[in-house]
Amino acid sequence: MDASAPPRAPLQAPSRAVLPTLAPPLTRSFVGGAAERGEGMRLPVFYPATGAQVGELAEADAAEVDRAVQAARRAFLRSGWASLPTERRQEMLLKLHDIVLAHADELARLECLNLGIVLRELRERHMKRAAYNFRFFAEFIGQAKGEVYDQMAGYRSFVVREPVGVAALIAPWNAPVALASMKVAAAIAFGNTCVLKPSEQTPLALARFVELLHEAGLPDGVVNLVNGRGAVTGEALVAHPDIDLVSFTGGTETGRRIMSVAGRRLKPCTLELGGKSANIVFASADIERALDAALVGIFSNNGQQCLAGSRILVEKRIADDFIARFAERAARIRVGDPMSDATELGPLASAAHRARVLGFVETARADGAKLLTGGEAAMPGGDLDGGYFVSPTAVLAPSNAARVCQDEIFGPFAAFLTFGSYDEAIAMANDTRFGLVSYVWSDHMPTIERASRELHSGVVWVNTPMVRELRAPFGGYKESGVGREGGEACQAFYTESKTVTLPASPVAVRRLGL
Ligand code: NAD
């Protein structure tokens, strides 16, 4: 390990009002248009910036999950939502867009209170994206195309798409409203009803979000919410016989479990799972932009994002300078109060997660990696010393086989590797069990063209940090997922196709039993 790490930026002092928003004392499930009584087991909810408990969650047991699924089933069969004319459903989706946008600040504060992502980021990026998800699907369903086949002589076949039924939507904690809203918007846009289960760590903003959808006029039972742990509430939901399909975002091991439970009843699943994405910087790149993007790629969202560029592969002839400048900039990142606009990196989401992330410093050491910066808990001072802060961390790995290059750390922790040739870079990038996204930095067109064909990942971003084109499919190769999200991908998942075949004139039918 290198003891000569660059000097650190001063940490952000705690603001005077560390908790400007109060969470409701008890977060309850929301079923059939009303809050449940919340008699289940109580789980604490923490503010990651101080470690203070800010509320409690009432866990839904199997009986409460059953009520939620039945409410969704009734709404599917009887509320008229499934058969609503497209224009009317579009109008409702646009109202949902408006109400989420109008409450972006409130939702961002609640989200910050149990997640610790910088408030500015939540308000400007996550909540705007959440609102946009409803507008996107409102527009998509108005433009969807049909299929007609008339090649077979004397017949015409057309394909209609019908909603599947009741969807279980299971969300992770790292971007609760931004990610869950995509699932909710897609499921209901195509006429389904749903039961949403947030992560037990981050129930606050999604509970308010579901209330807001109802305040905007969404019929009761179309969107239901159950709170609780994965093994209790989540598993009861996935296994419920009246759930028709499952959309899950979370860790790869959980995805494996969910697919096996859903598979017993042959329920279709989409799984958006983990990643260990390569960010490849060729010497032919615009180096300044690539450096800015490498920092954003690993440190935004407090380092907790599936699509983080967490393995940074740099061509040898520019590596020393690039890596030194990255470490210097990382050390200057302002760590502190997530409610302050000056903060660049907030706390990790939980104490256990911080312990896990810091555990990788020891793992890196054991595998012979060199610590470039960070690698320790950060103490911003005052109340924030009880928070789950980690200083921005970077290591230089001895090889791609090091565990910090193979395991998803899911924190502000970059692992650097260097390469001498194009082939070496692509081989290293692909040598992983994951395949969510890849980043390529080069101004050399043949390199870009070849790399975008040869990288094994669901998305390749060239000369840009992460950017989501919702019309295009998003999802992972290999252990990063099954299925895709996006306009047509969601249509395929959330609808059943039905082929109707008609003869052009009365057909001659073979006559049996005369
Ligand atoms: P997690 O797998 O621990 O939990 C995700 C959700 O699944 C939670 O709501 C949890 O309660 C629930 N769950 C857990 N066990 C369950 C079970 N047996 N049955 C039903 N539900 C169960 O993941 P996390 O820690 O919340 O999120 C971090 C992970 O999510 C990372 O691996 C990250 O890469 C991944 N992620 C992927 C994407 C993507 O689009 N590919 C996006 C964000 C996060």
Per-residue model confidence as pLDDT tens digits over 113-127: 999 999 999 999 999
Q: Give 412 Cα–ligand 1 centroid separation in angstroms.
A: 18
Does the pLDDT at position 5 exceed 80? no
Does the pLDDT at position 416 exceed 50? yes
Looking at the chain, the whole-number percentage of residues with pLDDT higher than 90 is 95
DSSP state of 230: I
Counting runs of H as helices and runs of E as strands, what totals does the chain give? 16, 21
* C-alpha span between 403 and 306 (Å, rounded): 17
Q: For residue 298, which phi and psi values (nearest 5 degrees)?
A: -110, -25
User: Which ligand 1 atom sits closest to the C-alpha of 172?
Assistant: 26
User: Which ligand 1 atom sits closest to the C-alpha of 173?
Assistant: 26
Q: In 3-state terms, what secondary structure has residue 431? A: coil
Select from 177, 298, 305, 306 the residue to mutate for testing ligand 1; criterion: most ligand atoms less than 8 Å from CB: 306
Instruction: Using pLDDT thresholds of 50, 70 and 90, give the confidence band for residue 82.
Output: very high
Under CATH, which number does the domain 278-462 receive?
3.40.309.10
Does the pLDDT at position 474 exceed 50? yes
Has 306 been annotated as catalytic? yes
Q: Is the beta carbon of 196 within 6 A of some atom in ligand 1?
A: no
* C-alpha span between 79 and 58 (Å, rounded): 28
User: Which ligand 1 atom sits closest to the C-alpha of 238?
Assistant: 20
DSSP state of 263: H
Q: Is the beta carbon of 272 within 6 A of some atom in ligand 1?
A: yes
Q: Is the beta carbon of 240 within 6 A of some atom in ligand 1?
A: no
End-to-end Cα, the chain, rounded Å: 91
* C-alpha span between 135 and 130 (Å, rounded): 9
Q: Please tell me the residue having the least CA distance from ligand 1 atom 6.
A: 172
Q: Is the beta carbon of 273 within 6 A of some atom in ligand 1?
A: yes
CB 83 within 8 A of CB 204: no
Q: Please tell me the residue having the least CA distance from ligand 1 atom 20.
A: 234
Q: Give 288 Cα–ligand 1 centroid separation in angstroms.
A: 34
Q: For residue 251, which phi and psi values (nearest 5 degrees)?
A: -75, 155
CB 164 within 8 A of CB 245: yes
pTM for the predicted model, two decimal places: 0.95
Q: Please tell me the residue having the least CA distance from ligand 1 atom 11.
A: 230
Has 272 been annotated as catalytic? yes
Q: Give 210 Cα–ligand 1 centroid separation in angstroms.
A: 20
Q: Is the beta carbon of 109 within 6 A of some atom in ligand 1?
A: no
User: Which ligand 1 atom sits closest to the C-alpha of 200?
Assistant: 11
CA 453 to chain CA centroid, nearest Å: 25
* 289-292 long-range Cβ contacts below 8 angstroms, 24+ apart: 289/441, 289/463, 290/322, 290/441, 291/322, 291/325, 291/326, 291/329
Domain residue extents for the chain:
26-273+476-499, 278-462
Select from 170, 261, 271, 310 the residue to mutate for testing ligand 1; criterion: most ligand atoms less than 8 Å from CB: 170
CATH class of 26-273+476-499: alpha beta
Does the pLDDT at position 1 exceed 50? no
Q: Give 172 Cα–ligand 1 centroid separation in angstroms.
A: 4
Q: Is the beta carbon of 483 within 6 A of some atom in ligand 1?
A: no
* Model pLDDT, residue 387: 97
Q: Give 503 Cα–ligand 1 centroid separation in angstroms.
A: 49
Per-residue model confidence as pLDDT tens digits over 480-512: 999 999 999 999 999 999 999 999 999 999 999
Tokens representing residue 138 in the block: 């409102």
Q: Is the beta carbon of 172 within 6 A of some atom in ligand 1?
A: yes
Q: Is the beta carbon of 234 within 6 A of some atom in ligand 1?
A: yes
Q: Is the beta carbon of 338 within 6 A of some atom in ligand 1?
A: no
- Choosing from 112, 194, 306, 405, the catalytic residue is 306
Per-residue model confidence as pLDDT tens digits over 33-59: 999 999 999 999 999 999 999 999 999
* Model pLDDT, residue 22: 78
Half-sphere exposure of 264 (CA within 13 A, CB side): 10
Per-residue model confidence as pLDDT tens digits over 209-268: 999 999 999 999 999 999 999 999 999 999 999 999 999 999 999 999 999 999 999 999
Per-residue model confidence as pLDDT tens digits over 95-153: 999 999 999 999 999 999 999 999 999 999 999 999 999 999 999 999 999 999 999 99
* C-alpha span between 26 and 23 (Å, rounded): 8
| Cα 430 to Cα 206, 427, 437, distances in angstroms | 36, 5, 11
- Choosing from 59, 272, 479, 485, the catalytic residue is 272
Average pLDDT over residues 286-301: 98
SS3 sequence of 444-497: CHHHHHHHHHHCCCCEEEECCCCCCCCCCCECCCHHHEECCECHHHHHHHHEEE
Q: Please tell me the residue having the least CA distance from ligand 1 atom 16.
A: 230
